[in-house]
Amino acid sequence: MGSMPPSPLPLLASSLFVFLFLLPLLCCAVAADGGTSPPVASAPSSPAAAANAVGELASSNGSVAVPPAAAAAPAPLVEGRRHHLHKELIIAIVFASIAGVTIVLAALYACIVWQRYRRGPDDFKDTQSTDTARIALVPMLSRFNSFKASKKCLVAMMEYTSLEKATGNFSESNVLGAGGFGCVYKGNFDGGFVAAVKRLGGEDQEYEKEFENELDLLQRIRHSNIVSLVGFCIHEENRFIVYELMENGSLETQLHGPSDGSALSWHIRMKIALDTARGLEYLHEHCNPPIIHRDLKSSNILLDSDFNAKISDFGLAVSSGNRSKGNLKLSGTLGYVAPEYLLDGKLTEKSDVYAFGVVLLELLLGRRPIEKMTASQCQSIVTWAMPQLIDRSKLPTIIDPVIKNTMDLKHLYQVAAVAVLCVQPEPSYRPLITDVLHSLIPLVPTELGGTLRVTTDSPRVSMHRSPC
Ligand SMILES: Nc1ncnc2c1ncn2[C@@H]1O[C@H](COP(=O)(O)OP(=O)(O)OP(=O)(O)O)[C@@H](O)[C@H]1O
Ligand SMILES: [Mg+2]
């Protein structure tokens, strides 16, 4: 959130205009003076003096070849020249006035451009320039049948027909998942480019707001742990957002879907937690103003082919500027919403930290954030796990069976302690996401983005043995 550097634009624009307009004017004035003659006001008063003066000038400047006959020119010629000079002076003044007005207008324009630039995309520190991002998109998008890049919006506006064709007319066989406002489809575009196409629609007009909000934010942020926006499309009542395809789907599907977390080893889980923390840290600490995601959950953490995790779904995200209670409708997903936000509408970055803690518990325990006990009774993972998380003898027994006894117990205690802190009911007791991030780095192997050196003779025996 560093302050902006002083604007170079007004200065540049002014210099340019001074150069472009004043230089010709100066030349014009110099030319009007016969190159080297003194000002009109000091013109010699008699023909002889004039002849002398011109003769002197001619002799003082070898490059001006003035024949002696011309040097002895009679008075009417000087008078005519004076008249001519007077006309040129008026022209010069008119041009100078125009140039002056132009400079003022240019400076004003440059100031306006600079103000927009300050408020715009590059307010986000560490952000790849949106122009660069757009340029990077162009070769990829040019493979599409057709696309338009709206000037106002720095993302590609895609044609409905190309989305229809890529998704096989939104066929069920291409469905990647379903959300509250519609399905996400796999899109196979011309040239072999694949992407995820989210279709938003329905009765609830809320989807339009979320669509605009997501586009507005995602086009301005770029980070390796935030899902990339490819383009968008508006067609009749429907809205479409095209994202990079995340081959391994969502963390929710991986953990609670048919594979029941079997693809996720302890180290991969720690890597997913670290990647998510990096994405959140970017939103909280490196964006200006900071962004609160408001809907962090396992279905909004997507995994690419190497299990790199990226945060998605910015429909509910808010930047601190517009987080006041009046502007916001209480939103989020039950089980992940921090108590102070749910009860008092108090929204801070710590609400995301709470949701992160719940995701960490899902990774550790392999359980859903809210589980149905009986037809009328539900239990939250936080209330269920809390007493066991702080009991070292019980903790290893409640771990997801898929990863049970596969980790260093010290690491397990450490992660559990982080999770316990993140889900504290009192927001001020929760750590900042930066602190969480730094506590996770040493637990992730170097090849997965952390600093842990895993050797073949690591104390695997103690890793596998449960103390109970
Ligand atoms: N870029 C993507 N690549 C691959 N799969 C995706 C992508 N985006 C979404 N999905 C899949 O589609 C599912 C639905 O996503 P969507 O964001 O619409 O809903 P959700 O997050 O599950 O729920 P909600 O509507 O409450 O946000 C995701 O859970 C995920 O499995
Ligand atoms: Mg989602």
pLDDT, tens digit (0-9, with 9 covering 90-100), for 363-385: 999 999 999 888 888 999 999 99
Same domain, 227 and 340: no
Q: Are strands 156-158 and 229-235 parallel, antiparallel or unpaired?
A: parallel
Q: Which structural domain, as residue segments, surrounds residue 15?
A: 1-33+83-115
Q: What does the alpha-carbon distance between residue 126 and residue 1 come to, in Å, rounded to a whole number?
A: 10
Same domain, 303 and 436: yes
Same domain, 233 and 259: no
Does residue 246 have its Cβ closer than 6 Å to ligand 1? yes
User: Measuring from atom 24 of ligand 1, which residue has the nearest CA?
Assistant: 179
Does residue 195 have its Cβ closer than 6 Å to ligand 1? no
For a ligand 1 pocket test, name from 167, 172, 174, 176 the mutation site with the most ligand atoms within 8 angstroms of its C-beta: 176
User: ∠ at Cα 133 (127, 134), nearest 5°?
Assistant: 140
Same domain, 178 and 288: no
Closest of 417, 92, 362 to residue 251, by C-alpha: 362
Q: How far is the CA of 250 from the centre of ligand 1 (A)?
A: 7
Q: How many domains does the chain have?
A: 3
Q: Of 182, 209, 244, which residue constitutes the final position of a domain?
A: 244
Q: What does the alpha-carbon distance between residue 304 and residue 447 come to, in Å, rounded to a whole number?
A: 16
Q: Tell me the CA distances in angstroms from 283 to 155, 226, 463, one per residue in order.
A: 20, 9, 35
Tell me the per-residue pLDDT of 273-290, one tens digit each, with 9 for 90 and over. 999 999 999 999 999 999
Same domain, 284 and 382: yes
Kindly state whether residue 88 falls inside one of the protein's structural domains: yes
% of residues, the chain, pLDDT over 90: 58
Q: How far is the CA of 263 from the centre of ligand 2 (A)?
A: 21
Same domain, 191 and 284: no
Q: How far is the CA of 398 from the centre of ligand 1 (A)?
A: 28
In the set 275, 295, 352, 400, the catalytic residue is: 295
Kindly state whether residue 418 falls inside one of the protein's structural domains: yes
Q: How far is the CA of 174 from the centre of ligand 1 (A)?
A: 13
Contact 314, 214 (CB under 8 A): yes
User: Measuring from atom 11 of ligand 1, which residue has the nearest CA?
Assistant: 177
Kindly state whether residue 65 falls inside one of the protein's structural domains: no
For a ligand 1 pocket test, name from 200, 299, 333 the mutation site with the most ligand atoms within 8 angstroms of its C-beta: 299
pLDDT-derived band at 80 (thresholds 50, 70, 90) equals low
Same domain, 236 and 265: no
Closest of 334, 371, 332, 361 to residue 424, by C-alpha: 361
Tell me the per-residue pLDDT of 211-256, one tens digit each, with 9 for 90 and over. 999 999 999 999 999 999 999 999 999 999 999 999 999 999 999 9
Q: Which ligand is nearest to the CA of 304?
A: 1
% of residues, the chain, pLDDT over 70: 68
Does residue 177 have its Cβ closer than 6 Å to ligand 1? yes
Encode 309-323: b = buried (16+ Cβ within 10 Å), e = exposed. Answer: bbbbbbbbbbbbeeb
Average model confidence (pLDDT) for the chain? 78
Same domain, 288 and 394: yes
Q: Are strands 182-188 and 175-179 parallel, antiparallel or unpaired?
A: antiparallel
Same domain, 318 and 337: yes
Same domain, 353 and 432: yes
Tell me the per-residue pLDDT of 159-216, one tens digit each, with 9 for 90 and over. 999 999 999 999 999 999 999 999 999 999 999 999 999 999 988 889 999 999 999 9
Catalytic residue status for 295: yes
Q: Of 214, 244, 274, which residue constitutes the final position of a domain?
A: 244
**CATH number for the domain harbouring residue 177:** 3.30.200.20
Least confident span in 15-19, 85-89, 96-100, 238-242: 15-19
Q: How far is the CA of 179 from the centre of ligand 2 (A)?
A: 6
Ion ligand 2 neighbours, Cβ < 5 Å: 300, 313
Q: What does the alpha-carbon distance between residue 137 and residue 150 come to, in Å, rounded to a whole number?
A: 13
